[in-house]
Amino acid sequence: MAHDATDFLSEILQNQTKGMTELFGLLAPQEGSAHAESVVHWAEIAERMQTIWTDYQVEQFQGGGKGSAGHFSDPLKWIGTLESVMRLLPLSQPEVQQRLWTQGLELAQAVLARYGIGEHAHVASEAGAGDAPELPLSDARFGAEEWRSTPFFALIHQLYLMFRQEFIGLAEATEGMEPARKAQLLFATRALVDALSPANFPLTNPVAMTEASRTGGESLVRGFQNFVEDLRKGQLTHTSPGFFTLGENIAVTPGKVVHETPLFQLIQYTPTTDEVMETPLVIFPPWINRFYILDLNARKSFVRWAVEQGITVFMVSWKSADETMADVVWDDYIAAQIEAIELVRARLKVPSVHTIGYCVAGTTLAATLALLARRGEADKVASATFFTAQVDFEEAGDLKNFVDSQQIDNLALLSPEGYLDGRYLAATFNLLRGNDLIWNYVEKNYLKGEAHPAFDLLHWNGDVTNLPARWHQDYLRDLYRDNRLVVPDSLKALGEPIDLHRIVTPCYIQAGREDHIAPPESVWKLTRYLAGDWTFLLAGSGHIAGVVNPPSANKYQYWTNGSDVQDLSEFIAGATETKGSWWPHWAAWLQARTPDEVPARGKRRPGGRGDTVLEDAPGRYVMAR
């Protein structure tokens, strides 16, 4: 399998490893030196790191070189080489060069003055002797005391912050570009300058070097081993490998798989109340992730909480794509949603079901509702809840930077077997929050050699899912790039034109205020296409924490507004804020639409007498890689 998602990091850290080796060589004492013993230790550390790298290179050679070639799929490669980004910035203009030089010189003088160096050295005495001085520029990445303890590291990170600010400013001031192209330039510039932070390299990170000194170099060996292990699996590791086991300490809500198709398994969860809501709930999670984001553990599980409210919960578990799914397209996912709805209606002998669509599955759920409405079957769905789902992609956020025609066409080159390796998409999402999800872990796990935490959310984030390549390309082209879903009858599914204006199903629309994947401005637009009643709720936090926020956590807040408002800004201006989880608000909304309850017996309890089931939850599909 390819290891391309870390090739960029590989190039950087190979150079840094070489630099460290050379540094250790310079530190090597002359024969007879009093410090020979300690320096030999450092030389051994460098030799051990070289051995780790050599062993990995031998593995790659014996494997035919697979995983060594660069790919367009690597989002760090996507941001382009230094030259390609810089060519779009006016760095060659003499006035720009002069301004950068002047500002850099002035900043350097100001920083050094705080350490009693240079013509403005009096500043140091005014600040107080022995104190780590306050510096002109600040950033959370450089909050550790070590960044200010010496003038060398202070100067390095201060100049970096200045140039970062200037480069982004140059990108923002660039004129004569298409808006989409300029947005790409801004995104690429930010990604590039964040990648070049001195915090990301061992020789320019004083915190890493302090840890190396404290551990006698063992932290560098551990970190380099972590790095090479990630190269082997082709993916950045965020959490402790092997700590979580599905069905044992994650995704443990009791239930049974009651149906299986080549595309999905249908899980029914075991009730915990004597009476349950008559109308059951069917949840469609995104097929780009594993469903158990909604069932991480007993405390965080939306599934367990919903069951405790007396809701009969069904969950669709999508199959991770393989070569048998090369021809899977839009129609197949819509057909699967309709099939799941029909299966639940027949199994429990109910006229309708409640539904939830999360992210891309919510996008598809909207199309499903429109299709059922056109067929005259809208009453099969009693309500639809949308978790951070978009239908209008005009303001779809930073992901649009990855969906120009060239990038979409290149996906075909990455999917010769008909499916896209989920690691590519995971790396793309990580890049959207590069400092939090890439460089933070580079520093902790590679440079400082720290052990990975045991964190269920991070485990889920790294549990990637392969995608049907043909459908993924169509999704990016038809929805993200061309925004056709909101154009009546522009797209078809199962032979029927899709018109969202036909949707009369009551809808509950949740958005995350800080969502960078499905921005709230974009999610709000769903309200503009519905013909039936809808309720919009804005939750605190983002794409994941804004959804997975159990009442027991007592975190965040949400906003509601019962007035007839026309846009998100008007909604926010008149909204009422409520502290804590929004889940009870949703449950009250749902129960108001189906107040009747029935005993939790018969097939309401999956796997009981006379009920044929396939296996225990969470099922095989969620475990397939």
**Pair of tokens at residue 237:** 């590791």
Q: By C-alpha distance, which of 372, 350, 624, 320 is closest to 493?
A: 372
CB atoms under 10 Å from CB of 190, counted, come to: 18
How many Å apart are CA 414 and CA 8, to the nearest integer? Answer: 17
Residue 127 near residue 137, CB atoms below 8 Å: no
How many Å apart are CA 220 and CA 88, to the nearest integer? Answer: 37
SS3 of residue 22 by DSSP: helix
Which run of H or E residues covers position 392?
Answer: none
CA 77 to chain centre: 18
Burial of 37 per CB tally in 10 Å (0-12, 13-18, 19+): exposed
Backbone angles phi, psi at 54, to 5 degrees: -65, -45
Tell me the one-letter amino acid at 326.
A
Burial of 292 per CB tally in 10 Å (0-12, 13-18, 19+): buried
Catalytic: which of 359, 370, 391, 432? Answer: 359
Q: Which residue has the tokens 């809500």?
A: 253
How many Å apart are CA 207 and CA 367, to the nearest integer? Answer: 51
Burial of 376 per CB tally in 10 Å (0-12, 13-18, 19+): exposed
**Active-site residue 359, yes or no?**
yes
Strands (E), 487-541: 492-493, 496-497, 507-512, 534-539
Q: How many residues would you count in the chain?
A: 625
How many Å apart are CA 169 and CA 163, to the nearest integer? Answer: 10
Residue 71 near residue 4, CB atoms below 8 Å: yes
Catalytic residues: 359
